[in-house]
Amino acid sequence: MVQDVPMSKKIDRALKDLKKALNQHAEAVGGNAVSLKKAQRATAKVAAAASAYAEAVHAKSGLGNPFDEMLQPGLEDSTLDSLKAEREAIKRQRDNGDEKPAEPFGEGVAQQNPEEHGKAL
């Protein structure tokens, strides 16, 4: 017989927190009258718990974020790609110990086209 392999304590804790956040979110948005503030707070808690879970999984296994491939309703693919690239750049900086903040549109964009940088679209 195969026995269950015990989970890492950090992953187990993060999973419990994620489940709790999801349950609270379902309660906040599942009723007849939905409070915008409660829904927003619950959504923020789910996002934070999901990030904590992903970080615990990565720290233990080296695997990527299990939520990376999830679509976010209402956002275009180009926006999602930009957000993903920015998140990866921030993670690389954090992992490398860099203190300089990442440029939001890649390195040197402002220097390449200074007359275009900062113009409203």
Domain borders along the chain are 1-67, 71-106
Q: What is the pLDDT of residues 50-81, one digit of tens each?
A: 999 999 998 888 888 888 777 666 667 788 78
The residue that leads in pLDDT, 32 or 115, is: 32
Enter the pTM of the model: 0.54
Q: How confident is the model at residue 88 (pLDDT cuts 50, 70, 90)?
A: confident
Question: Helix/strand/coil (H, E, C) string of the chain?
Answer: CCCCCCCCHHHHHHHHHHHHHHHHHHHHHCCCCCCHHHHHHHHHHHHHHHHHHHHHHHHHHCCCCCCCCCCCCCCCHHHHHHHHHHHHHHHHHHHHCCCCCCCCCCCCHHHHCCCCCCCCC
Output the CA–CA distances (angstroms, integers) from residue 22 to 26, 66, 100, in the order listed: 6, 16, 35
